[in-house]
A and B are shown apart, each in its own frame.
Chain A
Amino acid sequence: MDYSILIGGAAGQGIETVVELLEKIIKRAGFNVFTYKDYMSMVRGGHNFMQIRFSDDEIYTYNSKVDIIFAMTQETISKHHDKLKSGGIIICDESFEENDFIKLPLQKLAKDLGNTKVVGTIGVGFIIKYLGISYDIAANTIKTFFKDENIDVNLEAFKIGYNIGENKYQLQSLEDDKILINGNQALALGAIAAGVKFYCGYPMTPSTSVMSYISRHANEMGIVVDQVEDEVAALNMALGASFAGVRAMTGSSGGGFALMVEALSLAGIMEIPIVLFNAQRPGPATGLSTRSEQGDLRFVIHAGHGEFPKMVIALRSPEDAFYQTARAFNLADKYQIPVVLLTDEYLADYDMTIKPFDFTKITIERYISNENEIEDERYKRYKYTESGISPRLVPGIANEKLVLVDSHEHNEYGNIDESIETRVNMMKKRMKKLDNLRTEIQEPDYIGAENPEYLLVGFGSTYGAIKEAVLRLNLTSEKFGALIFGDIYPFPVERLNYYSNKAKKIIVVEQNYLSQLKSLIDEYTDIKVDKSILKYDGRAINSDDIIQELNKFLSNYTI
């Protein structure tokens, strides 16, 4: 079984609440859920829609076709009726002009209940009955989902919707042992688990929900959250906090990240550990505020004037977002470098059921030295060492030694020094950290046939779509494999070279125009990429899209 429900309406109609309730009920009935969100940069009006896909099998992305459309506006029907599978249904209010659909007196019933906001809950009742999902699970979910004063009216609305509907399927409940979470929540949770104590940022879609999640738990977890005047302040402030010894973080989307670039370079020369993220949206400039793209890959890798070591990790899924974010703090602390997490609107916003996070797997490695271990009478913040990493003291925690960090080229003490010798030695010292970092970067995940004829290569949020495409393709012919990069700078090449040697055709899949991942492969390997499947319309690629494009390309070859 594999069903999808599309819920559409205007901004301000509360479709988000309907979706959150419905996906939670389906999740609690034990199914795997994947909810894709498509929304416009509007507070009122426009057209937003979300698709809840669910299955008793593992699912990794959204489907192109749907079984049920719950239309809260006429526009939902006109825009999406061609997505409906044959035998699918469209539910809407009786006042809608179209004829062939299931028309319910939603507005009237809600009015009778004295609350027009419960239209959506009536619809949920109808859908739950139609699918044959447990009434009790749904009713219990409603009791925990709404605020106290709204529970009764929503329960009533749910019952009415349930009673006016007809039943089509009988979906037996399964064991509910998963969590339902999106990429931004997972990223934020990873940061909190890693012990972030200072988070600052400026609101920018689609990054904002990380900050609001952390803020909601700030008092409970003892985290200072500061909404700064601009992103320039954000990274500088976070660097101050990190210098003072706490784990600090900031993040934004492309435009805000651009404003952080100056301070990213500062982190490079000051050698202050910092974790920051860029939740990409399509640019240039304001671009498409609420949509998704992978156009900032090269920008992030090269961000910052001058040359300095940094690390870039592309997040692939909510699970990856949690564990990689926590790992990023350890790497930043170990190498005293900025670690940039690269995510995007798609991953930030889609909800997915996954195995609950294992917090015992998270380690905290700070690499902060004790004052007594420092032999030099005057502390050398930038002492030359074999590894390029200098012992780090925290100002004020050290009782005797003084800590000086500097944005100029500096000597081992941190004092301005323009000599040729110092410049050359300090450049080598800093860049040596990049060499050492290379030894512990993670190779991309491999999925599929051990000896693939066709190798798909992607990074970050396309993970689910590529994985599902490969799994589907291999059902008929075990010829496909995929490598999906998480750690992407420094660029790991071992596994890429290994599988490329086996494959006849290499196909890159990414969401940008210039095929930036391909350009990295060109730069760091001798591999010839045969095809780039690119999507830059602001909408997330799914497995249907990939298979369709792949079939077009491979039509010249025998699969």
Chain B
Amino acid sequence: MKCEYELYKPSWCPGCGNYMIRDALKKALEDLEINPSKVVLVSGIGQAAKMPHYIGLNGFNGLHGRALPPAIGIKMSNKYLTVIVESGDGDTYGEGANHFIHTIRRNVDIAHFVHNNQIYGLTKGQGSPTTALGQKTTLQFDGVKLNPLNPLALSLTMGAGFVARGFSGDIEHLSNLMKEAILYKGYAHVDILQPCVVWNKINTFKWYKDRVYKLNDDYDYTDFELAYKKSLEFGDRIPIGIFYKVEKETYEQRFPFVENGEPLVKAELNPTNAQKLLEEFY
């Protein structure tokens, strides 16, 4: 199945990592042969969140920080849909951090691709939750005064069953991570490092390129303590790949009628089915 780009011209800057992330997503969906009409791409607001406009899938481009709640509603209503969330670091770890935490607790079967360029792009260069301490921005003139949030350590400790990091500069590797995340039964968190060519002059393409390295083939991604240790490594060397992957019961499985029945959207609605509930009021 082809996942066509729409005619709509992206408003991303030339050289933006979003183009590569889109290519990786397209490749992942094509490789998995998922019919685009069975995929919903949910996003919030930000440069990353414009993705539903630039790719031929069902799309829900909602509010800033609020990509995850509708994604949960969609998946619970139609379990046969492949639900993918694309959002940025501000969208996910700032405005939407509360939803991020509680989505992990639920473990709904959705794949979450966070475009993390460590800066606010759409609003022109303010510090994001992942901007380094002390980094000067268009708002934090004498440097960011908040400590950065560690996305992978957070999702690991919250109990996510699939935690990974990709890099927009390695489409093949990223695309494979996306495939794994989409196939994973449960909430899959993929933090994707990408440069912002206009607003982040520190974490440039070269900066990332010089630092990222792939986790070894013999890396044991079922070892939680090892994964946690790896998640703290972010400096001269930055690991990419699947940090942690184990099977966990999904949210859907905790609702017997969702797990065993037809998708809720196919339920036949008949008011008289509820008649029996009147009994207790007599």
Residues of A in contact with B (beta carbons under 8 Å apart): 176, 179-181, 185, 189, 192-195, 197-198, 200, 217, 219, 221-222, 224, 226, 228-230, 232-234, 236-248, 262-263, 266, 270, 326, 356-357, 359-360, 362-364, 366, 394-408, 414-416
Contacts and interface: CB of A to CB of B under 8 A. Distances in A.
B69 A228 contact: yes
Interface in B222-253: none
Given A244-B78, A396-B78, 12 more contacts: A179-B278, A195-B269, A221-B273, A222-B257, A232-B99, A236-B70, A240-B74, A241-B76, A241-B77, A266-B62, A360-B272, A402-B56
Contacts of B99: 229, 232-233
B interface secondary structure, majority:
helix
A240 B63 contact: no
Given A402-B57, A407-B63, A357 B278 contact: yes
Given A192-B277, A416-B50, A232 B66 contact: yes
Contacts of A229: 98-99, 101-102
Given A243-B73, A404-B52, A414-B59, A396 B282 contact: no
B272 A395 contact: no
Contacts of B78: 244-245, 395-397
Contact of B37 (A192, A244, A400): A400
> Which residue among B50, B71, B99 has the maximum number of chain A CB atoms within 10 Å of its CB?
B99
Nearest to B264: A197
A398 B265 CA distance: 12
A407 B61 contact: yes
Interface residues of B, number: 57
B280 to A, nearest CB: 9
B210 interface: no
A18 to B, nearest CB: 18
24 contacts: A197-B77, A198-B76, A198-B264, A217-B277, A219-B256, A222-B267, A224-B258, A232-B66, A232-B69, A233-B66, A233-B98, A237-B72, A240-B42, A241-B77, A244-B77, A244-B81, A266-B66, A356-B278, A364-B271, A395-B81, A403-B58, A406-B52, A414-B59, A415-B6
Contacts of A197: 77, 264-265, 267
B76 A226 contact: yes
A234 B69 CA distance: 7
B277 A236 contact: no
B255 interface: yes
Contacts of A401: 37
A219 B35 CA distance: 31
B271 A263 contact: no
A254 B42 CA distance: 29
A236 B61 contact: no
A407 B38 contact: no
A340 to B, nearest CB: 19
B275 interface: yes
Contacts of B72: 226, 237, 240
B53 A415 contact: yes
Contacts of B273: 221
A147 to B, nearest CB: 14
B77 A245 contact: yes
A180 B281 CA distance: 5
List the 10 closest A-B pairs by CB distance, nearest first.
Answer: A240-B73, A240-B70, A195-B269, A241-B73, A362-B271, A236-B69, A395-B58, A244-B77, A179-B281, A237-B69
B75 to A, nearest CB: 8
B36 interface: yes
B77 A359 contact: no
Contacts of B199: none
A260 to B, nearest CB: 11
Contacts of B282: 176, 179-180, 356
A224 B76 CA distance: 8
B77 A185 contact: no
Contact of B265 (A221, A245, A263): A245
Contacts of A270: 62
Contacts of B70: 236-237, 239-240, 243
B60 interface: yes
Nearest to A224: B76
B262 to A, nearest CB: 9
